[in-house]
Chain A
């Protein structure tokens, strides 16, 4: 690969070599997923708060029209198709967080016109603030999985922009497909983002097990003559694509504990986000679709699909030929970090990169957990350099202080320790529960502290009032020294009463 840069790569601690299982989905090119009859567009498709609907039931909307406005940290949501709003409903229970937020139900029109587009902007000469506003208006969020609103993420200045194409989790191949087929958009989008944050260098990181994507990007870079972009083939080790792991591999630096990449002058963006940013600026396109990998032995025809947000999983699965007899578990995301879904009547959103249907032979057995023998295999594979065997001990003994100081919140929940554990302990799940327990505990502590402070303030106030009263009484006692004063006051009172009586008709 002549175009890959001769960058000295570093290593991150631990990780696993996993069977990739990506070729099933990339056998054919990206296919459009036809619109379902009704789209159920979630209003929380990102990190932060749910957007607020700005349409009413019965409204006719056009594709690309804004249907919900960001509130606080969040992103706008746009109609993914022409049609009529038929309902605005809350919450589907028992499903991942974002599906529990309100949804706008949109009956798709049978005839779809061209989508609404904003005017094209000149990415290289337009004012940065205008471009920034466009990214915000397009409803862009990180498409790698965390869904952090892009406009917020790109506001500070950073020296290094890393485009994350290290799609390390098995089965997921949507970034691979994007890089193979739309490398130009990624490269141009990367340049655009670099301009927005004032980055001096741009690193496009792709796993060395993705040769087709690497070749496509090399070709795109030479075609555009984007000499400012360094294409880097990084080793294929899970979780190479973890933000902190990728930063360490490329720069040799670690993001400070509890800090953010920007603290060391680095910004990481997923390649799909870069491509979406490019389309938002150069074509004026709002974010209403994404590439979703549908794969696993439980699906008849795996592939990558361009899916409108709000499309139910069941509809997408039908486009992939439906389920096979082997289908045993439905996952949103990959096999290492994905969420198991109880059913397939759940709509897809901006952060959903993969629908994976595993067979029972892929799944780990449960109920065969043995005691921890403290072998430390988990620590050897932990990319956060934690000691999961010790954290497990603290978690089981309910020692939340030690859990926190030994780094349970540094756990990225990649799942490596689970796969390394000879005792088949569900370590990651234990740590998720510990995190929740600590958060609840902290909240309870905060309430208790607030109540304590309130009580102290009240006691102080009561004390002050009684002190002041005592002082006042003392003052008065000093001034009222003789009985004359009392007689005089009585006289005055009598006179007032007399006067009042006289004035009455």
Chain B
């Protein structure tokens, strides 16, 4: 008696990995950074994350519906919430709610789905969203609270005050933007050094901590902690973060050695702005970045160098987002020209 069976292609064994697990671990790795942000800038960032995630999932569902794709696998892959969290972490914690709406529209609808959805987007969606709101609403993007401990008489806004500020766009008493809005450390460096102050004088400003901005440097440390966790879990490769941060340090060291008065200490560059967040969580986005080992080194170094250039010569205080988008354009080409040697392939003469 002959028994029949269903057939299938080799290999036949079950696979334990999934996109949801990858994205989930990245989200988990962001928890320490979010925690540090809450400590220094109040609970507003939690609202930003929830808002952005809600908009992201909404737009994702809408686009999947329009593109006639199955909803379930793509809504549960956690890629849209990850985009939302990375975007929210770039916003001032009390930014008005509609920034999240506009940012997520740009990120999910334009940056992601118009390019073909998950896996096909040329640009990092979170950075697309951030750059759109940065260019369209520069004023709102400068409304940074002073980090905790800087103006102790006020403290950071509480839960309800933060919610009210985000929904109404107005700060509840006794805060008000004109008195409060803080230049970020990077703005300060740029402005004061343009006025001819030395680095030592600039760093005397209470905005600065040990290396970067007060508060900012701690948040960066916690992002780095999450990044190391991802490295340990083999979710991110070592090449991209090392190349991004390494290129910044390598290029700034000679300048700082040459004249430490006008050129910032290398670690100040690293621990200011969004560089550490970017190095571990944004430059490492596999879809929009490079995928070959050498390509990742070039991609990371490119982001680091472009960031420095924009910080030094550009019109914006921090250039990470622009640097990432510019390198995104180059990534497919870099990949084509950095293929590793295949087994048994002779080195080129």
Chain A residues with a Cβ under 8 A of chain B: 12-13, 18, 170, 244, 248, 254-259, 314, 323, 327-331, 333, 335-345, 358, 361-366, 368, 370-377, 379-380, 383-387, 389-390, 406-407, 410, 413, 415, 418-424, 426, 428-429, 432
Are A423 and B291 touching (Cβ within 8 A)?
no
User: Which one, B22, B287, B289, contacts A422 given CB within 8 A?
Assistant: B22
State the Cβ distance, A379 to closest chain B Cβ, in Å.
7
Known: A314-B3, A368-B73, A373-B287. A363 touches B8 (CB 8 A): yes
| Residue among A248, A255, A373 having the largest count of chain B Cβ atoms under 10 Å | A373
State the Cβ distance, A500 to closest chain B Cβ, in Å.
80
Write out the residue numbers on chain A whose beta carbons fall within 8 Å of the beta carbon of B12. 329, 331, 335-336, 338, 340, 358, 362-364
Write out the residue numbers on chain B whose beta carbons fall within 8 Å of the beta carbon of A330. 3, 5
What residue in chain A is nearest B289 (Cβ atoms)? Answer: A374
State the Cβ distance, B194 to closest chain A Cβ, in Å.
41
Are B344 and A424 touching (Cβ within 8 A)?
no
Considering the chains assembled together, what is the distance between the CA atoms of A466 and B278 in angstroms?
76
State the Cβ distance, B5 to closest chain A Cβ, in Å.
4
Write out the residue numbers on chain A whose beta carbons fall within 8 Å of the beta carbon of B21. 422
Q: What are the 8 A-B residue pairs with the smallest beta carbon separation, nearest first?
A: A415-B11, A371-B119, A340-B7, A257-B344, A429-B9, A375-B286, A422-B17, A345-B2
Write out the residue numbers on chain A whose beta carbons fall within 8 Å of the beta carbon of B135. none
List 9 A-B pairs, Cβ < 8 Å: A170-B13, A314-B1, A343-B4, A364-B14, A375-B291, A377-B234, A418-B15, A428-B9, A428-B10
State the Cβ distance, A389 to closest chain B Cβ, in Å.
5
Considering the chains assembled together, what is the distance between the CA atoms of A18 and B16 in angstroms?
12
Write out the residue numbers on chain A whose beta carbons fall within 8 Å of the beta carbon of B10. 333, 335-340, 413, 415, 428-429
State the Cβ distance, A419 to closest chain B Cβ, in Å.
5
User: Which one, A389, A421, A428, contacts B291 given CB within 8 A?
Assistant: A389
Are B11 and A410 touching (Cβ within 8 A)?
no
Are B2 and A344 touching (Cβ within 8 A)?
yes
Are A364 and B13 touching (Cβ within 8 A)?
yes
What residue in chain A is nearest B345 (Cβ atoms)? Answer: A257
Binds A, one of B216-224, B241-249, B334-342: B334-342
Are B3 and A323 touching (Cβ within 8 A)?
yes
Write out the residue numbers on chain A whose beta carbons fall within 8 Å of the beta carbon of B11. 335-337, 364, 415, 418-419, 428
Indicate if B58 sits at the interface (CB-CB under 8 A).
no
What residue in chain B is nearest A377 (Cβ atoms)? Answer: B17
Considering the chains assembled together, what is the distance between the CA atoms of A407 and B118 in angstroms?
26
User: Which one, A244, A363, A380, A387, contacts B343 given CB within 8 A?
Assistant: A244
Considering the chains assembled together, what is the distance between the CA atoms of A213 and B103 in angstroms?
63
Are A385 and B120 touching (Cβ within 8 A)?
no
Are B13 and A342 touching (Cβ within 8 A)?
no
What residue in chain A is nearest B74 (Cβ atoms)? Answer: A370
State the Cβ distance, B67 to closest chain A Cβ, in Å.
12
Known contacts A341-B5, A343-B2, A366-B8; 12 additional CB pairs below 8 A are A256-B346, A329-B12, A340-B10, A340-B12, A342-B7, A361-B14, A364-B14, A371-B118, A373-B119, A374-B119, A376-B237, A420-B17
Are A13 and B343 touching (Cβ within 8 A)?
yes
Chain B residues with a Cβ under 8 A of chain A: 1-15, 17-19, 21-22, 73, 77, 117-120, 234, 237, 286-287, 289, 291-292, 335, 339-346
Considering the chains assembled together, what is the distance between the CA atoms of A139 and B340 in angstroms?
42
Considering the chains assembled together, what is the distance between the CA atoms of A324 and B10 in angstroms?
22
State the Cβ distance, A62 to closest chain B Cβ, in Å.
30
Are B342 and A410 touching (Cβ within 8 A)?
yes
Are B339 and A384 touching (Cβ within 8 A)?
no
Are B3 and A344 touching (Cβ within 8 A)?
yes
Known: A340-B8, A428-B10. A390 touches B2 (CB 8 A): no
What residue in chain B is nearest A417 (Cβ atoms)? Answer: B11
Write out the residue numbers on chain A whose beta carbons fall within 8 Å of the beta carbon of B291. 374-376, 379, 387, 389-390
Write out the residue numbers on chain B whose beta carbons fall within 8 Å of the beta carbon of A413. 10
State the Cβ distance, A396 to closest chain B Cβ, in Å.
11
Are A314 and B2 touching (Cβ within 8 A)?
yes
Write out the residue numbers on chain B whose beta carbons fall within 8 Å of the beta carbon of A372. 119
Considering the chains assembled together, what is the distance between the CA atoms of A342 and B292 in angstroms?
39
Considering the chains assembled together, what is the distance between the CA atoms of A366 and B4 in angstroms?
19
Known: A337-B11, A376-B237, A390-B335. A370 touches B77 (CB 8 A): yes
Considering the chains assembled together, what is the distance between the CA atoms of A341 and B6 in angstroms?
8
User: Which one, A335, A386, A415, contacts B342 given CB within 8 A?
Assistant: A386
Write out the residue numbers on chain B whose beta carbons fall within 8 Å of the beta carbon of A361. 14
State the Cβ distance, A335 to closest chain B Cβ, in Å.
5
Write out the residue numbers on chain B whose beta carbons fall within 8 Å of the beta carbon of A323. 3
| Residue among B7, B117, B237, B340 having the largest count of chain A Cβ atoms under 10 Å | B7
What residue in chain B is nearest A254 (Cβ atoms)? Answer: B344
User: Which one, A327, A364, A374, contacts B287 given CB within 8 A?
Assistant: A374
Considering the chains assembled together, what is the distance between the CA atoms of A333 and B11 in angstroms?
11
Known: A256-B346, A422-B22. A387 touches B340 (CB 8 A): yes
Write out the residue numbers on chain A whose beta carbons fall within 8 Å of the beta carbon of B8. 329, 340, 363, 366
Are A364 and B237 touching (Cβ within 8 A)?
no
Write out the residue numbers on chain B whose beta carbons fall within 8 Å of the beta carbon of A329. 5-8, 12
Are B5 and A340 touching (Cβ within 8 A)?
yes
Are A419 and B339 touching (Cβ within 8 A)?
no
State the Cβ distance, A297 to closest chain B Cβ, in Å.
13
Considering the chains assembled together, what is the distance between the CA atoms of A387 and B340 in angstroms?
8
State the Cβ distance, B126 to closest chain A Cβ, in Å.
15
Write out the residue numbers on chain A whose beta carbons fall within 8 Å of the beta carbon of B343. 12-13, 244, 248, 254-255, 257, 383-385, 410
Considering the chains assembled together, what is the distance between the CA atoms of A371 and B287 in angstroms?
10
Are B3 and A373 touching (Cβ within 8 A)?
no
Are B339 and A387 touching (Cβ within 8 A)?
yes
Write out the residue numbers on chain A whose beta carbons fall within 8 Å of the beta carbon of B15. 364, 418-421, 424
Are A343 and B3 touching (Cβ within 8 A)?
yes
Are A259 and B344 touching (Cβ within 8 A)?
yes
Are A362 and B14 touching (Cβ within 8 A)?
yes
Write out the residue numbers on chain B whose beta carbons fall within 8 Å of the beta carbon of A423. 18-19, 119
Are A370 and B19 touching (Cβ within 8 A)?
yes
Are A255 and B335 touching (Cβ within 8 A)?
no
What residue in chain B is nearest A244 (Cβ atoms)? Answer: B343
Are A343 and B13 touching (Cβ within 8 A)?
no
| Residue among B2, B3, B4, B341 having the largest count of chain A Cβ atoms under 10 Å | B3
Write out the residue numbers on chain B whose beta carbons fall within 8 Å of the beta carbon of A376. 237, 286, 291-292
Known: A256-B346, A428-B9. A373 touches B118 (CB 8 A): yes
User: Which one, A379, A390, A422, contacts B19 given CB within 8 A?
Assistant: A422
Considering the chains assembled together, what is the distance between the CA atoms of A330 and B342 in angstroms?
34
Write out the residue numbers on chain B whose beta carbons fall within 8 Å of the beta carbon of A370. 18-19, 73, 77, 118-119
Considering the chains assembled together, what is the distance between the CA atoms of A170 and B5 in angstroms?
21
What residue in chain B is nearest A432 (Cβ atoms)? Answer: B9
Write out the residue numbers on chain A whose beta carbons fall within 8 Å of the beta carbon of B340. 379, 385, 387
Write out the residue numbers on chain A whose beta carbons fall within 8 Å of the beta carbon of B120. 371
Considering the chains assembled together, what is the distance between the CA atoms of A329 and B21 in angstroms?
28
Are B342 and A341 touching (Cβ within 8 A)?
no
State the Cβ distance, A53 to closest chain B Cβ, in Å.
25
Write out the residue numbers on chain B whose beta carbons fall within 8 Å of the beta carbon of A420. 15, 17
State the Cβ distance, A293 to closest chain B Cβ, in Å.
16
What residue in chain A is nearest B3 (Cβ atoms)? Answer: A344
State the Cβ distance, A191 to closest chain B Cβ, in Å.
29
Considering the chains assembled together, what is the distance between the CA atoms of A384 and B344 in angstroms?
8
Are A257 and B342 touching (Cβ within 8 A)?
yes
Are A328 and B2 touching (Cβ within 8 A)?
no
Are A371 and B117 touching (Cβ within 8 A)?
yes
Write out the residue numbers on chain A whose beta carbons fall within 8 Å of the beta carbon of B13. 18, 170, 335-336, 362-364, 415, 419
Write out the residue numbers on chain B whose beta carbons fall within 8 Å of the beta carbon of A340. 5-10, 12
What residue in chain A is nearest B117 (Cβ atoms)? Answer: A371
State the Cβ distance, B293 to closest chain A Cβ, in Å.
8
Write out the residue numbers on chain A whose beta carbons fall within 8 Å of the beta carbon of B19. 370, 373, 422-423
